[in-house]
Structure 1
Amino acid sequence: MKKGAGFSVRGKRAVVAGAARSGIGAAMLLARRGASVTLSDVREEIEDAGELETAGVTVELGGHTQATFAAADLIVLSPGVPAHQPVIARAREAGIPVIGELELASRWLAGRVIAITGTKGKSTTTTLTGRMLESGGHKVLVGGNIGLALSAQVDESTAETIHVVETSSFQLEGTQTFHPWVAVLLNFSPDHLDRHATVEEYAAAKARIFANQSASDWAVLNADDPGSVALAAHAPSRRLLFSMTAGLADGVVLEGDTIVRRSGENREPLVPLSSVRLIGRHLIADVMAAAAVASIVGVPARAMTATVEGFTGLEHALEPVTEIAGVRFVNDSKATNIEAARRAIESFGTGVVVILGGRYKGGD
């Protein structure tokens, strides 16, 4: 059956909870697909209210009201809205379908999906993967947890499109039929325990990236991270492991100064380490993951290398800022969990002064 066949919202009452980027994308998509849409948010005002109302979306601000949710035929959650909120829990108990924005959008995509998750490194790997595939001549749309919400990509999706999607645990926990052709789990460590009740609940959300895969799909996994490999234990998909330290007979490894894909007796050089312009050895693992995906897609090694040579990293991710009186300043404010911060600090030698802040989300 063609993806999305049989799923229609025409004439249905749809409520979207949360008016951030993903919620707005979902509301606009639902309106274009013929639903009667209400976008609900706890804030008293939102910047996009006028545009939404012009598109036919009813904007309800100041809180999620029981009457609105109880009257819905479908409820779609933005990633930032916890599914255990009382008004949402009561709707689910009443038999009203509740799904996430990622799930909604994926039902209408015509192209294949490469989904990338992990506790750290998602944005770097997603961006680099998208650029490698573009360099290899593929039609690519990058988004999800970065850039455009997946809902905003649906109208551009064709059978030739490859969607490279960064997926968070908040997005994955709201999926039911989401089916990546390639699912990448970079690493796993405790995080977001201010949202997930337990580490096990967080792990279960991450593992949903593999839930609907088949034997013709791929799981790309970090062999140096046993926790992430364990989460894919029951996935029926083919495996492609990558490792910075293990001598894998089959997988993507480091051989001297080159990232190489091994397959039995075959050896394919992919990217020389001399082309990497990123600070921090741990980011080599992200490059390896992107190269692993690109090799599955069939991107030539020269296109991978050219992409890596031109990639100097993302804003706020070990981003060089300036040097004053011999002191180098580096911005790694994207490291919002303990493991990511630890890896960043370990990227430098002695004499490092760390400026930390933010909200504790659990972990040791």
Structure 2
Amino acid sequence: MKDKNQFKGKRILVLGLAKSGEAAAKLLNRLGAIVTVNDSKPYVENEQAKDLEKLGIKVVCGHHPLSLLEESLDYVVKNPGIPYTNPLVQEAIHRQLPVVTEIEIASLISEAEMIAITGSNGKTTTTTLIHEMLKNSRREPLIAGNIGTVACEVAEKATNEQIMVVEVSSFQLLGTEQFKPKVSVFLNLFDAHLDYHGTKEEYGLAKAKITANQSKEDYLVFNYDDPFVRRMANESQATLIPFSVNERLEKGVYIHEGSVYYQNQAIIKLESVVLPGSHNKENILAAIGAALIMGAELKQIKHVLQTFSGVEHRLQFVTNFEGRQFFNDSKATNILASQKALEAFQQPTILLAGGLDRGNEFDELASSLRNVKALITFGETKEKLARVAKEANVNTIIFVNDMVEAVETAFEQSNPGDVILLSPACASWDQYKTFEERGKRFVEAVQGLNTTSKS
């Protein structure tokens, strides 16, 4: 049994609100902690802070005063998006205060065992697959983390008759000390979030914290085909379950002669799997490994793979309009994700891409542009993407200002049989609050084409 009184009377500073900060503050308050919330958004326009204040929680808004650390604090619970260069965070670390994220709180109170999924790409698809595969098994799966309800909210009510299936980011994992999933899934590692982590090595080390506290009684499902992930896995104390698209692995999950195998047992023929894109083979293998470890029924696994066609904003099929297929891949916030999306299609493709400039170039994208007949680009990175497209001999490159203009222009440049693909290769924050908002604007613009054509 987890001790849910462990936070009673503890002095805790919740730094940064958004969804996870608000959930952590409310939970810790319910658990009897003495909570102070600090958020950069001014109080007069901060509805979350006002709601928390009504619960008796102290709120300090508009700035991050170092004086907040002068009280005797037991924890700082940091919003994952706040960088460690923040002066308040740096001072807390200097004072040797535990600086954690809400996923750590969730792990400390959850009665349910956890499956935690991380990687540069494929987390949401894999998390969803595992959750679906575990349905109808002995223990009810609960989905949480970046993909659903904040993990600490789910953990508060979870029982040992349930399993938490949690998508976790490097930002969250960096703020963990005792986090110990029963099953960790490490999908891949690619140059991403370097503005936050500094180097790929540091980024990888943050991801590797998913297995840092695991023992032989726990499991690490990992991508054997990714050299960086394989090296990290070799340092884990967990029981290793590798997966590979390229090699037969007697103790893992692999593809051989058109079928998926788990420890030499045939699971399903690839021709029966409906999820599009070659990149999803890795996600499928990882999900099968994790689900079987935790008691999923083979019948349910097969059913999911024969019916599951993808998640919203992740290579999501939108519609077929006047012979053009539209796909929403707004969750492709880095180059690798867009490469994999582009490689899923053989048809001529109109690519919609662009967004927040994180300082990287896009030369690695060039080899995946061979079927792209036109680039419609927007946002801070449009000039960089245009340069790469030009060097890759993309015939048509057009700058636009918003998603409606992007979709209308893409349709004008397309022919029946073409794919029109939103796969930005960039974060959305220069123009949209989230990748979900960006994806919804795309879907709305596509739906608007039908209206326009009838008017």
TM range (shorter): over 0.9
- Aligned residue in 2 for 1:9: 7
Please give the secondary structure, in 2, of the residue aligned with 1:59: strand
Find out whether 1:287 has 2:284 as its counterpart: yes
Q: What is the TM-score with the length of structure 1 in the denominator?
A: 0.93
Q: What is the TM-score with the length of structure 2 in the denominator?
A: 0.75
- Mapped partners of 1:290, 1:95: distance in 2: 38
Q: Could you tell me which of 320, 334, 338 is aligned with 2:335?
A: 338
Aligned length: 358
Q: How does 1:64-103 map to 2 (within 5 A)?
A: 64-71=64-71, 72-103=73-104
Q: 1:294 offset after TM fit, Å?
A: 1.2
- Aligned residue in 2 for 1:117: 118
Structure of higher RCO (CA pairs closer than 8 Å, 6+ residues apart): 1
Q: How does 1:44-63 map to 2 (within 5 A)?
A: 44=42, 45-63=45-63
**Amino acid of the structure 2 residue aligned with 1:65:** P
When structure 1 is superposed on structure 2, of 321-330 and 237-246 the one drifting more is 321-330
Contact 1:69/1:88 (<8 A) preserved: no
- Mapped partners of 1:176, 1:131: distance in 2: 29
Q: 1:186 offset after TM fit, Å?
A: 0.5
Q: Deviations over 1:243-300 (max 9, x none)?
A: 11212222111233322112xxxx3222332442222111121111111111112222
**Amino acid of the structure 1 residue aligned with 2:56:** G
- Mapped partners of 1:113, 1:312: distance in 2: 25
Please give the secondary structure, in 1, of the residue aligned with 2:349: coil
- Aligned residue in 2 for 1:323: 320
- Mapped partners of 1:84, 1:135: distance in 2: 45
**Amino acid of the structure 1 residue aligned with 2:41:** R
Q: 1:51 offset after TM fit, Å?
A: 3.4
- Mapped partners of 2:59, 2:37: distance in 1: 5
- Please identify the structure whose Cα radius of gyration is greater: 2
Q: 1:232 to 1:4 in 2, by over 3 A?
A: farther
Q: Deviations over 1:301-332 (max 9, x none)?
A: 11111122332211110011222332211111
Report runs of 4+ in structure 1 exceeding 3 Å deviation: 2-5, 360-364
Find out whether 1:134 has 2:138 as its counterpart: no
Contact 1:271/1:304 (<8 A) preserved: no
- Aligned residue in 2 for 1:152: 153
Q: 1:25 to 1:282 in 2, by over 3 A?
A: same
Q: 1:97 offset after TM fit, Å?
A: 2.4
Q: 1:228 offset after TM fit, Å?
A: 0.9
When structure 1 is superposed on structure 2, of 317-326 and 168-177 the one drifting more is 317-326
Bigger fraction of residues in helix? 2
**Amino acid of the structure 1 residue aligned with 2:195:** D
Q: 1:350 offset after TM fit, Å?
A: 4.1
Q: Percent identity?
A: 39
Q: 1:50 offset after TM fit, Å?
A: 4.2
When structure 1 is superposed on structure 2, of 108-117 and 128-137 the one drifting more is 128-137
Q: Deviations over 1:76-121 (max 9, x none)?
A: 0111111231112112222332211111221111121111100000
- Aligned residue in 1 for 2:273: 276
Q: Could you tell me which of 17, 40, 43 is aligned with 2:41?
A: 43
Find out whether 1:348 has 2:345 as its counterpart: yes
Please give the secondary structure, in 2, of the residue aligned with 1:355: strand
Where does the alignment leave 5 or more consecutive residues of structure 2 unmatched? 365-455
- Mapped partners of 2:222, 2:299: distance in 1: 23
Q: Could you tell me which of 18, 29, 32 is aligned with 2:30?
A: 32
Q: Deviations over 1:126-163 (max 9, x none)?
A: 11101111232422211112211111112212122211
